[in-house]
Chains A and B, each alone.
Chain A
Amino acid sequence: MGNRVGVIGVGQTHHASRRLDASGVELIAEAVTRALDDAELTIDQIDAVVIGNMDHFENINYVDMWATDGLGSFMKPVFKVTTGGTTGTTVGMCGYYHAASGLFDVVLAVGWEKNSESDTQAAIATCANPVLERDPFAGAIGPLATEYSMYMKAYGATEEDAALVAVRDRNNALNNPYAHNRMECTVEDVMNSPMLSYPIKFLDMCPRSDGACAVILASEEKAKRLCPRPAWIHASVVRHDYTHFGDLEWQWMPTLERGSAVAYKIAGITDPLKQFDVAELYLPASTTGVKWMDSLWFCDKGGAPELIRKNTFGMDGVLPINPSGGVISTNPIGATALIRIGEAAWQIMGKAGDRQVPDVNKALVTGFGGCSWSDIMILGADLP
């Protein structure tokens, strides 16, 4: 069977709406250099590299070839993976499988995006079936707005519940020097912000950012030798749904529910609310921070609003969610889900600075994208 694998270093750029000072390759170099510094490694110690982003945002084909100078991948094994919004976790998982396979010991996983270089919605629109769905329903906001409308109707969740999530994530970002949007925010601010697509308002929604994240993973022996406190990978699960938006379940998030159930089983989690010490979740809109809590088995269906109103997931709550500020604060799409892994790893390693949650032993990470796809990873301070 395979090796156990730990994250031994993380690097991020300072994410921004537009990094005018850095080309894509420069952003990548920034993140990689910081990850190497974090892990106290040189580029020679990297055995393999994997990279990901969403092509249409920068219009660069064969990004794994193009990024060579930034990745330090000259004469190394490299390839690219890409899966839309889940690209970051796909990249992290790919790095994990490289090391777990036994074929490579120290692996560099890089996710990046320069969303400033294109029209985000136009680029995303191409994911929809050109014959059936692209004209009426493409883009990210519509589907998210639709699912929360249904949840509100079914369980009495409110726009204010979503606003509480936005307030939490946005204020958390004030502690994160890397976050793109760092702003004080109240429920009133959110409720008064312009409506994008009912019920999602401007401050409910994630930005698009320029940024990169690099995560270094190592197989057990190497990880133990190179890092005092690796963040060990306990579970890595991906679940996909149907291709066409019209075929999906809208009342709940099946991929998240099923995927997390499998991940919890693998990692021995029976009471997620109690057993996780921190969660970095891919919540692209505040509404998902309400609705998807059910799907993560934190409560029964419809139970999320009560948890939100009790501040269960605040920094002082039972299970802090998104101390980093989450996706609502920072969203360089190819990197976003990898940042969840990086932030969770730092929480375990005790390197999360002002946003550190005390005594983190187990962390939950999710990625989201495509057509309601979910990626779930569980990291722990102890060996799995």
Chain B
Amino acid sequence: MTDWKDEVEEIVFEGKIAVPYTWTVGSTLSKWYGELRDNAKIWGNRCPSCAKVFVPPKIKCNDCYKDLNDWVMLPGTGTVETYTVVHYEEPKLHPRKAPFVYGVIKMDGADTGMVHLIDEVEPEKVKVGMRVEAVLAEEREGNIMDIKYFRPIA
């Protein structure tokens, strides 16, 4: 009864819909990126209730749900909490060719970590606990790549 299915030549359509996006950064992150771009400074914000400091800044404290209006300037240094050496290629996604290193860096002066690239060190030499500092891009546009990467503190 369904034998005809075995004879059918299977057709495949390829689709591509272009939906361009423009994301509104919003007040909090606009301030953060503005400071990064214009003043080469990394800031965090602090909860008035539990005193936790967040970087990247948040709009509300995770725990307390309070508005965060206290801004705290951070030194831009931190400790590698975890990292990975990426060996696969995803040219459309990855900011550079493999192998390269992502890390979560626990930022000094803050209670959170930041995810970013780790460079100026051979991938095999990256260690949990390494002390690192943010290196900013020469030309900054107001996004996360204004931080070029983190490098070991000499």
Contacts and interface: CB of A to CB of B under 8 A. Distances in A.
A18 B60 CA distance: 22
A29 B17 CA distance: 31
Interface residues on A, range: 20 to 34
State the majority secondary structure of interface residues on B. Answer: loop
Contacts of B27: 21-22, 26
Given A69-B58, A74-B63, A19 B15 contact: no
B26 A69 contact: no
Interface string A66-99: 0011101010000000000000000000000000
Interface in B51-93: 58-60, 62-63, 65
A123 B62 contact: no
Contacts of A19: 24
7 contacts: A18-B24, A23-B23, A23-B25, A68-B62, A69-B62, A72-B60, A119-B19
Nearest to B17: A126
Interface residues of B, number: 21
B29 to A, nearest CB: 7
B13 A131 contact: yes
Given A43-B65, A119-B19, A126-B17, A69 B59 contact: yes
Nearest to A119: B19
A301 interface: no
Contacts of A125: 17
B58 A116 contact: no
A118 interface: yes
B22 interface: yes
Nearest to A125: B17
B92 to A, nearest CB: 14
A117 B25 CA distance: 11
A26 to B, nearest CB: 4
Interface string B20-53: 1111111111000000000000000000000000
